[in-house]
Amino acid sequence: MNLPSHFEGLLADHHQLESLFDHSYYFSLDLQAQTLIQALSTELSSAPNDLLLSQSCSNMLLCSLQRHIQDPHKHVNHRLNMDHLDLYIESHLSTKISVSELAGSAFLCDSQFFLLFKQQVGMTPHQYVLHKRLHRAKHLLIHSQLSLMEISQHCGFASQSSFTQSFSRLFSISPARFRKMA
């Protein structure tokens, strides 16, 4: 790793820092690490021109990362917390949900999240969200008097037409017909 010469002297142990970047790592950030990162971010944004604060926060972050990487119990078990993701999806079903938002809620980059999600769930995040939307719509068709247009909006569809098309494709019946049969 090539660090500017003035930066190398700011770090307690340059060789330990270099070892952080020897390999690609996946590790989970526990609540303590997440809290630390949020606190450091808040501190840095409160005094963006304070060089000493910036250096101290950088050192603290790097030391924390090193601890997570070197502790074998902290490495990712390659399982997504589906309860957390389901909660996020359920609370945002009426809006557009991007892979980036889901990845961010799992503290992963988009590509890592996409691969782990597909391996674990067996479908893409987009397909999974669509299934969640359609199952919510199915519930609303049975348990509410909302119009098809209102249901399509509540479930995050761009139009009633796209809702009807997706519903019919998954359940092999139109939403209106399903409601009549329910």
Residue-wise pLDDT tens digits, 80-134: 899 999 999 999 999 999 999 999 888 888 998 999 999 999 999 999 999 999 9
- pLDDT number for residue 7: 46
**Can you give the pLDDT at residue 164?**
97
Please tell me which of 7-11, 32-36, 160-164 the model is most confident about, judged by mean pLDDT. 160-164
The predicted model gives 31-60 an average pLDDT of 82
Domains of the chain with bracketed CATH: 5-74 (no CATH), 78-182 (1.10.10.60)
pLDDT for 6 equals: 45
**pTM above threshold 0.95:** no
Structure tokens at 150: 């209102």
Structure tokens at 132: 């969640």
pLDDT of amino acid 26: 60
User: CB neighbours (10 Å) of residue 140?
Assistant: 19
CA distances from 97 to 17, 150, 151 (A): 36, 19, 17
| pLDDT on residue 106 | 86
The residue length of the chain stands at 182
Query: 13-17, 56-60, 101-105, 113-117: which has the minimum mean pLDDT?
Result: 13-17
